[in-house]
Amino acid sequence: MSDQRRAVLIAGPTASGKSALALARARQSGGVIVNADSMQVYDTLRVVTARPSVEEEGMAEHALYGAVPAGQRFSTGQWVRAVTALIAQVDPEREVIFVGGTGLYFDALTSGFADVPDVPASVVLVVQQEIDALDEAGRMAKLLAEDPDTARRLKVADPQRVVRALAVKRATGQPISHFQQDQQPGLLDDWHIEKTIVWLEREVLRARIAKRFEAMFESGAVEEVEALMAQGLDPSLPAMKAIGVPEISAWQAGRMTRAEAIDRAIIATHQYAKRQRTWFRNRMADWPRLEMEARPL
């Protein structure tokens, strides 16, 4: 038997069925499933973020799901440190199965991660408020003015990466590229790695997204958002921006109808899935694709 530890990496856009695939693999191999989704780390929002159910978690060991209070920010660096500690405690004979849709997490596992300093929440909040009303062109223009190097490297000025770059520049006085020059090796550099991207045709994925969100309304999503809003949290926190939270809270406040809330959440999920697919095509082009047929959720 090889001395190498084994890892299975299962990536895919939201609603693609990757969590079910990971669960089937874990039940077969006895492996531990590790969350690689930046929203599923937060508590309170099991249904809204499509975390595995209590029953599914009982079928195999799961880690880093719902592990962070919704009132906290959890950076990629913090995820890397949590995973480093976790895998050190797992029996080396067990397979570790990473599953999720957050490309930066998979980058950290396979290509390495630049340990950028944590930025004060107050700085992140100011930057977030500044770019909230901007479209992609506006975000790119702002980034170009403050961190031209990062602006030139980004193909798409998605909000998360723009906020991160601007916040780092303002907090440290250095562009994020200054820290990225000191890239740490991938966490799984000496592991045997099996990579898979779960892939669905766009229209099949769109249908699954619509069906899943409509089902969420009937299975606890509304109650979760009520519980989250009752905590009186800073609206700029990542958990408060999870797809479904703004829409459901707007419906509850009477600012839109139930049907409008569902439609807007579905549209937002489509847009998110599109960004995920773009990342996978550009940054993970060498990963084998598992082409999935239309299947029930």
Q: What percentage of the chain reaches a pLDDT higher than 70? A: 97
Residue 219 marked as a ligand binder: no
195 annotated ligand binder: no
Do 191 and 284 sit in the same domain of this protein? yes
What pLDDT was estimated at residue 141? 94
For residues 255-267, average pLDDT: 95
268/141 same-domain check = no
Residue 48 domain boundaries: 1-115+185-297
| Pair (102, 5) in one structural domain | yes
pLDDT band at 1; cut points 50, 70, 90: very low
89 and 152 inside one domain: no
What's the mean pLDDT when you consider all of the chain?
92
Q: Report whether pLDDT(99) > 60.
A: yes
For residues 3 and 289, the model is more confident at 289
Number of domains in the chain: 2
pLDDT tens profile 25-47: 999 999 999 999 999 999 999 99
12 annotated ligand binder: yes
Same domain, 191 and 99: yes
Distance CA 120, CA 275 (A): 27
DSSP for residue 55 = H
- Give pLDDT, residue 296: 41
How far is residue 199's CA from residue 13's CA, in Å, rounded to a whole number? 8
**What CATH number corresponds to the domain at position 46?**
3.40.50.300
**Statement: residue 118 has pLDDT above 70:** yes
Is the same domain home to 162 and 191? no
114: pLDDT strictly greater than 50: yes
How many whole angstroms from its chain centre is CA 95?
22
Residue that wins the pLDDT comparison between 52 and 296: 52
- The pLDDT score that the predictor gives to residue 108 is 92
- Residue 23 dihedral angles phi and psi, to the nearest 5°: -65, -45
Confidence label for 182 from pLDDT (cuts 50, 70 and 90): low
Same domain, 8 and 105: yes
Q: Say if residue 84 is in the same domain as residue 129.
A: no
Give the pLDDT confidence score for residue 205 in this predicted structure. Answer: 92
**pLDDT computed for residue 75 by the predictor:** 87
Residues 153 and 25 grouped into a single domain: no
Which of 45-49, 97-101, 210-214 has the lowest average pLDDT?
Answer: 210-214
Query: Is 18 known as a binding-site position?
Result: yes
Residues 58 and 190 in one domain: yes
Residue 2: pLDDT over 70: no
pLDDT at 297 over 70: no
The answer to whether 17 is annotated as binding is yes
Q: Which of 139, 161, 180 is the last residue of a domain?
A: 180
* Residue finishing a domain among 133, 151, 180: 180
Predicted TM-score (pTM) of the model is 0.83
Three-state helix/strand/coil letters over 223-287: HHHHHHHCCCCCCCCHHHHCCCHHHHHHHHCCCCCHHHHHHHHHHHHHHHHHHHHHHHHHHCCCC
Q: DSSP 3-state assignment of 141?
A: helix
Is the domain of 127 the same as that of 82?
A: no
Q: Which tens digit of pLDDT belongs to each residue from 188-209?
A: 999 999 999 999 988 999 999 9
14 carries a ligand binding annotation:
yes
Residue 214: how many other CB atoms lie within 10 Å: 12
Q: Are residues 83 and 37 in the same domain?
A: yes
State the CATH number of the domain containing residue 171: 1.10.20
Instruction: Tell which of 130, 164, 180 closes a domain.
Output: 180
pLDDT of 124-168, one tens digit each?
A: 889 988 988 899 899 999 999 999 999 998 877 888 789 989 999
